[in-house]
Amino acid sequence: MAKGKRTRAIEQTIDVTKTYTISDAVKLVKSNAKAKFDETIEIAVNLGVDPKYADQQVRSVVNLPAGTGKNIRVAVFAKDKKADEARTAGADIVGAEDLFEKVNGGFMDFDRVIATPDMMGLVGRLGKVLGPRGLMPNPKVGTVTPNIAQAVKDAKGGAVEFKVEKAGIVHAGVGKASFSDADIEKNVTAFLGALVKARPSGAKGTFVRKVTLSSTMGGGVVIDLAEAKG
């Protein structure tokens, strides 16, 4: 398939034979983000793990210091006082059995699901609905918690969950092209730091093998592994 004029122009700006510092990678990716919408800045990390083994799973959460640039819609399963706390903290949808019925019926107008521990017996029955979309609450990433207000604030403020895929790659959005260089750099650094901390016990040898930064419509820029502290 013939490449578009814009794609060819972007490729000419990226030296595929070299790696870049985070700072230079951010500048290059931002300079190529010229779509008519505010492109998402994305990071992809190839890891030295085989996710089919339980001791090589990678899943965690990171609070991006500059936020995500997205309006995250948060659904909370909670009752009584905890439900009130969730609403006060800014949750978009709060409920219990009533919310269960809505979601089970096909309602999916949210980006994150948080639940208090006592609600997991109910929420667990939505596994076939929420699981495939990566929305099932999990205590490992702070979405099953009694501290519901803080969880909602974190989700709204820049908390990003990440999980290794079958091919051993982790993808995440780390900001928008409209962000300042400094804010994207802070987010990238925070993400990589959290990823390294999430290294599983079964990982052998080099954990972080390749880090690529790109925008929604732009080409990938490879970051120097020394910057990833892997």
- When pLDDT is cut at 50, 70 and 90, the band that residue 10 belongs to is low
Alpha-carbon gap, residue 101 to 84, rounded angstroms:
20
Say what the pLDDT of residue 107 is: 96
Q: How confident is the model at residue 1 (pLDDT cuts 50, 70, 90)?
A: very low
- 29-55 confidence digits (pLDDT tens): 999 998 999 999 999 999 999 999 999
What the chain holds in terms of domains, given with CATH numbers, is: 15-67+159-228 (3.30.190.20), 74-157 (3.40.50.790)
DSSP codes joined into one string, 119-150:
GHHHHGGGHHHHGGGT----GGGTSB-S-HHH
Convert the pLDDT of each residue in 142-180 to its tens digit: 999 999 999 999 999 888 999 999 999 999 999 999 999
**107-121: pLDDT as tens digits:** 999 999 999 999 999
Residue given tokens 């995250």 in the structure block? 72
C-alpha to C-alpha distance for 148 and 5, rounded to whole angstroms: 49
Q: How confident is the model at residue 192, as a pLDDT?
A: 96
Question: How confident is the prediction for the chain on average, in pLDDT?
Answer: 91
pTM over 0.75: yes
**Cβ neighbours, 10 Å, residue 2:** 6
First-to-last CA distance in the chain?
37
